[in-house]
Amino acid sequence: MSTVADVLSRVNYLLKESGTAEASRLWRDSELYLWIDDGQSEIMRAVPDSTSTVKTFTCGAGAKQTLASTDHLLLRVHNLTAFERSVLDLYDPDWEQASNTTPTEYTYDPSRDTRNFYVNPPAAAGSQFPVTVSVRPTNVTGSTSALTIKDEYLPALALYVAHRAMSKQAEYGSAGMEASFLQQFMATIGG
């Protein structure tokens, strides 16, 4: 797993500040940390799989289930079959009031609600199954902080941070370099 130091090494190379002591650099590490946080969030929004992880989900009682506050999106529910809510609503309008038991199906529509999904039959409290979720990046606190995004997105993150640095320091950078870093970032994440 990559760390903040890995990003800083690439960024300092892009900004032509490799080998320069922090006190002599135009961009302080503490400022770059903020842009690393922003960059990880931008990558997560564009490519939810960039922060995916498999974990055990523990249900509350009922059909409606809520993702943890650290989760961005539900990507997959393992061991349950996906169903179309509109079809079930049509054939059994009261399905959400059925007895709580072990779920066998789920439905999730992130275009309507990113935080909640539904299981059928409604879950008994404590029912568990594995899920793949896109997690929200954690804020970095120093050069040894681990990144939340997967390693293959490290080059994109470095480009994002270089873009932010150059856009802030217009007198030292150039609009052309800033735009180039942004275009490369967008191309790297498929935007």
Query: Does 148 lie in the same domain as 129?
Result: no
Domain boundary among 134, 150, 165: 134
User: Among the residues of the chain, which ranges form H helices?
Assistant: 4-14, 29-46, 85-91, 154-168, 175-189
Is the pTM of the predicted complex or chain greater than 0.85? yes
Query: Does 79 lie in the same domain as 35?
Result: no
pLDDT tens track for 50-80: 999 999 999 999 999 999 999 999 999 999 9
Give how far Cα 129 sits from Cα of 1, 29, 46, 60, 123, Å.
26, 41, 27, 12, 11
Range 41-55 average pLDDT: 97
Query: Does 94 lie in the same domain as 36?
Result: no
Query: Does 127 lie in the same domain as 71?
Result: yes
Range 70-93 average pLDDT: 95
Q: What is the per-residue pLDDT for 44?
A: 97
Query: Does 111 lie in the same domain as 84?
Result: yes
Distance (Å, whole) CA 170 – CA 178: 9
Query: Does 24 lie in the same domain as 62?
Result: no
Query: Does 109 lie in the same domain as 175?
Result: no
Query: Does 171 lie in the same domain as 143?
Result: yes
- pLDDT of 48 > 90? The answer is yes
Q: What is the per-residue pLDDT for 92?
A: 92
Query: Does 130 lie in the same domain as 55?
Result: yes
- pLDDT of 178 > 90? The answer is no
Tally the domains of the chain: 2
Domain boundary among 119, 134, 149: 134
The residue ranking higher by pLDDT, 38 or 190, is: 38
Relative to beta strand 81-82, strand 105-107 is parallel
Q: Which residues contact 48 (CB under 8 A, 6 or more apart)?
A: 72, 73, 75, 134
Query: Does 119 lie in the same domain as 69?
Result: yes
Percent of the chain with pLDDT strictly greater than 70: 92
Distance (Å, whole) CA 106 – CA 74: 11
Q: What is the per-residue pLDDT for 124?
A: 97
Highest mean pLDDT (candidates 52-56, 96-100, 179-183): 52-56
Query: Does 148 lie in the same domain as 176?
Result: yes
Q: What is the per-residue pLDDT for 85?
A: 92
Domain boundary among 134, 161, 178: 134
Query: Does 119 lie in the same domain as 149?
Result: no
Please report which confidence band the pLDDT of residue 97 belongs to, taking 50, 70 and 90 as the band edges: very high
Please report which confidence band the pLDDT of residue 46 belongs to, taking 50, 70 and 90 as the band edges: very high
Query: Which domain range does residue 163 map to?
Result: 4-49+138-189
